[in-house]
Amino acid sequence: MSNDKNIFTAYDKSTYINKHTQPQPGMDENMSPLAVHTQVERWTREGEPYLEEYKGSSKLDGKAAIITGGDSGIGRTVAIFFAREGADVTISYLKEEEQDAQKTKSLVEETGRTALLVPGDLRQHSDRAELIKKHLDKFKYLDILVNNASKQFQCQDIANIEMEKVEDTFQTNIVQMIGLCKEAVPKMKCGSTIINTSSVGLYQGNPILVDYTATKGAIAAFTRSLASQLLSKGIRVNSVAPGPVYTPLQAASMPPEQMENMGVEEVPLYGRIAQPAELGESYVYLATSNLSTGTILHPNSGKYFIP
C-alpha cells in the first residue's frame, strides 16, 4: 500500500508514473510503467487495499463479442474480462497497434477462449463491413458490440484549433460508432447488447479537449436514442463514462510533463488515476442479460466533483 499523503491504494504503479509520451495512436507496451489490466483492487474489512486477479463466473458463457480498440487500454481489459467470463472476442485495432493486439490475443487465449484479430480503420465503411463479416464467419453470432476506439488532441485556444484534427476526432469517436452500429444491428438478435465508451468529459467538459468532450456528449445522446429505437428488438444499448484512466490514449495526446505522476493526489477517490482493470467489471455488468438500457455507468473516481 502506498504511504503517500492522501493516496490509499495497492496500485503502486498509479502513484509513480514516469514522464513519457508517445505518438498516436499509442501503445500499451510503451507505457512507463505498464498499465494494470487484470488485477482489481479489493479492500479488507480493516480498510486495507490489496490486489486480486479478476476471476470470471461464467456470466458470458458461449457469447461472442466485438471490441473496437480492443488491443490496449480499457479495450484490452474488456477483452480479457469477457474471456474470463466465457466469451470469445474479436479485436478491432489499427495496423500500427499489431504488437499490442498480439499481446491481448495471447492473454485471451490463456483463458481457453478464442480471439480473432481484425486490423482496420473503422472510419472507412469497407473496414467496418469487413469487421462484421469476419466476426460472423468465425463465430456465427454477434452477442456483444463494444464501441471503445477513441482519439483526442489537446488545444488551449479555440482560435488555434485545427479543423482537420476536429474532423478526425469526430470521425473516430462518434461517426464510425454510428456506422458500425448500422452494420452490426441487423445481425444482432434479441437479448444482445451494445456498449459505448464515453467519458467524464461529457458531464464536466474540458477546456483543452473541447472537440473530444463534444464527441463524448454525442455518444451519450446516441446511446440513449439508439436504446429507445431498439427497444422493440430487445437489443440493449448502454454506455460507460470513465473518469481519468491510465491508458495509451493519455500518453499519445499529452506532453511528458502532464504524464508525470498523472492524477497523483488530484483525483479525489484514493488520490490516484484509475487502472484499466478497474473498468472491466462495468463492461461485464452491462454485457450480461439484465434490464439496463439507455444507461450510462459513471465510474469516475470522484472526478465529477472537481473541475
Residues serving a catalytic function are 212
**DSSP-derived 3-state class of residue 237:** strand
Q: Which H or E element spans position 186?
A: none
- CB pairs under 8 A, 24+ apart, for 3-6? 4/264, 4/265, 4/271, 5/265, 6/265, 6/271
- Contact of 60 with 85, CB cutoff 8 Å: yes
Report the alpha-carbon distance of residue 93 to residue 290 in Å, rounded. Answer: 29
List of residues 6+ apart from 303 with CB closer than 8 A: 200, 204, 243, 244, 267, 268
CA atoms within a 13 Å half-sphere pointing along the CA-CB vector of 68: 29
CB atoms within 10 A of CB 90: 25
Sign of CA dihedral 71, 76, 80, 82: negative
- Single-letter amino acid, residue 106: S
Interhelix angle 73-84/98-109, rounded to 10 degrees, is: 20
